[in-house]
Amino acid sequence: MKIKLERKEKRNKVKKVPTIKVGTHKKTTIALWILLLTSIAFGVYKNFTAIDQHTTHEKEVVKLELVDTTKIQSFVENFAKIYYSWEQDPKLLEQREQALESYLTPELQQLNAEIIRSDIPTASTAESIQFWSIEKQKEGEYNVLFSVEQKLTENKKIKSVSSIYQTTVYIEKSGEMVIIQNPTVTSKPAKSNYEPKIIENDSTIDAQISEEVTTFLETFFKLYPKASKKELEYYVNNQAIKPIEKDYVFAELISPIYQKKGEKIEVMVTVKYLDNETKMIQLSQFHLFLEKQNNWLIIK
């Protein structure tokens, strides 16, 4: 009996390749994309916002407060006319005191009640009042510097006295005003020692140009006082100098100074005139810019 052995062929086993099932992670992927795009958009927004904020900061506008001091000046002027005027009459002195109530606080009214005695030997009239400055100190308060010239009469003798004072005015938003500091004598603004820098002639300007400019200026200033607008157009550009229509007679140019500014000539000159109306010598100082086109012209 034969036994038949059969070999079974071995089949190669195919390894299964692991696969990712996209369907199960689709929501996660979309969420990640949304997060990424949101982050980018937010970054861009913050960047532009930062630039805009910076620009806004750089373009900050400073507002200047313009104050109309006309009302304050009128208020103080009317007050000063009453305060520095009086008569040797008890009844008129009482009227003066009552009039001051419209300007002073109750405290100042009481303080000033007896500054003019009933037996005062002088009479006074406030002749003129001049204002030197009106300056804001804080909200609603203004310091006023003013001078008063008084005509004083005593025993039929008349003299003038001038003094300078400082007072403080408070003004409500509604416009109502009151004096909160009594007029206090102070010093008059003094003359300054300032002297402008002396400017000399430009040595680079040749003699011919200097002569031409001088001739032009002499011709112009001879005609200028009586020249019409039409006549000035030949010498002046864009109405840099306007007609004055004065009866002046030209005498001379005093110490003209010429400076070269590119193609232009800067001129500083004093012009001497005789005023036929007042018979006074009139010295007028001019600061001009000349330019040569077809002829010399005053352009500024």
**What percentage of the chain reaches a pLDDT higher than 90?**
43
Does residue 104 carry a pLDDT above 90?
yes
DSSP assignments along 171-223, one per residue? E-TTS-EEEEEEEEE-PPPPPP---PPPP---TTS-HHHHHHHHHHHHHHHHH
Boundary (domain end) residue, out of 125, 150, 185? 185
The more confident residue out of 8 and 159 is 159
Statement to judge: residues 74 and 181 lie in one domain:
yes
Distance CA 292, CA 281 (A): 31
Which of left, alpha, beta for 54 (phi over 0: left; psi -120 to 50: alpha)?
alpha
Does residue 56 carry a pLDDT above 60?
no
**What percentage of the chain reaches a pLDDT higher than 70?**
79
Does residue 63 carry a pLDDT above 60?
no
Model pLDDT, residue 65: 53
pTM > 0.75: yes or no: no
Query: For the chain, how many structural domains are there in total?
Result: 2
Statement to judge: residues 144 and 213 lie in one domain:
no
Model pLDDT, residue 64: 47
pLDDT digits (tens, 9 = 90+) for 199-235: 888 778 888 888 888 998 999 899 999 988 888 888 8
At residue 48 the predicted structure's pLDDT band, cuts being 50, 70 and 90, is low
Distance CA 136, CA 69 (A): 10
Statement to judge: residues 162 and 237 lie in one domain:
no
Statement to judge: residues 162 and 77 lie in one domain:
yes
Statement to judge: residues 154 and 241 lie in one domain:
no
pLDDT digits (tens, 9 = 90+) for 147-202: 999 999 999 899 999 999 999 999 999 999 999 999 999 988 888 899 888 888 87
At residue 103 the predicted structure's pLDDT band, cuts being 50, 70 and 90, is very high
- Looking at 11-15, 76-80, 97-101, which range is the least confident one? 11-15
3 state DSSP class of 25: helix
> Residue 60: how many CB atoms within 10 A of its CB?
6
Statement to judge: residues 180 and 222 lie in one domain:
no
Is 55 domain-assigned?
A: no
Domain that holds residue 241: 207-298
Does residue 76 carry a pLDDT above 70?
yes
At residue 237 the predicted structure's pLDDT band, cuts being 50, 70 and 90, is confident
User: Could you tell me the CATH number of the domain that includes residue 242?
Assistant: 3.10.450.540
Is 141 domain-assigned?
A: yes
The whole-chain average pLDDT of the chain stands at 83
Is 196 domain-assigned?
A: no
Model pLDDT, residue 198: 84
Q: Are the C-beta atoms of residues 160 and 150 closer than 8 Å to each other? A: yes
